[in-house]
Amino acid sequence: MTSVTARDYAWIRSSPLFDCALEIGYTVSLVRGVAPREVLRMMEAEPQGSCTGADELIERQDELRDPEDYSDESFMAGAFTVPGEGGDWTLVLHVGEGGMGMQSRFLEALTDGGCAAVHSSNGGKPMHFFHWYEDGELRTTFEWPTVRHGSTPDALNSAMREVGYVLSDDEDGTSGTSERVDTKAAAFALSERLTGVRVTEELLQGAEYQLGYVPEEPPREIAGGQG
C-alpha cells in the first residue's frame, strides 16, 4: 500500500480538467483484473470506438446529449488499462452531465472475485461519494467521511485518517497541519491507497480510451401497478 496523502492530489485544484469535472460532475472507477472492453460490456454500454485523452472524451459526451434535457442520465464512459496493486486495473472515466457512473449492480458483478474503488461528484449541488467493493460486495461507502455504510463500514478507517480524512467530531479537521484537508483530494488518495494507481492529469490526457455509451436506466416498475 502506498503512503500517498491528500497533499499529493493538490494538483486537482489547478487542473482545467478537474475544474470542469467538479463543476459538471464526474466519476472515476478503478476495477481490478477486468479488461476495458469487458468492463464496458458488463456496464451494458454500446461500443463507440475510441478516443485519445479526456478532452476528446468530454467532447464525445457533449455530442450525444440534448442540452435541453436536464433529466437525461445517459453518459459516455471511457476505459483504459493501467498497472496497479496486484496486476492490471481498468480505469473508467465519465465527465459531464448525466449519470453518476456505474450502477451498483454493475460493480457487484465486476468485483465478483475482485475489487473496485469509485469516487464521484454530481457537480452543481454538490454531492460527493466514495465506494469500495470487494468480492461482489459493497464493503465501505460514504458521502461524508463521518457517516459510513456498507458491510464493513469501518474497514478503511486507518487508511482514511492517513490520507487526511477527519472521522469524528473530536478531531480538529486539520490532520496535524495548519490547513483543512481537501476531501476531494483525499478521495483520490484513498483510491490510490486501495488500488496502487496514481491518477495524474498526464495519465488521463494521454490515455487511449475505449468508449461506450451507457443508456439511461429505464424507470422501475411499481409492484402491483399504478393506482
Percent of the chain with pLDDT over 70: 84
Q: What is the mean pLDDT of residues 185-194?
A: 98
Q: Where do the domains of the chain lie? A: 6-34+84-203
pTM: 0.89
**pLDDT of 173 strictly over 50:** no
pLDDT at 61: 87
Is residue 135 a contact partner of residue 112, using CB atoms and an 8 Å limit?
Answer: yes
User: Which amino acid type is present at position 70?
Assistant: Y
Render pLDDT for 86-131 as a digit per residue (tens, 0 to 9): 999 999 999 986 556 678 899 999 999 999 999 999 877 778 999 9
pLDDT at 98: 55
Q: Are strands 46-52 and 137-142 parallel, antiparallel or unpaired?
A: unpaired
**pLDDT of 29 strictly over 80:** yes
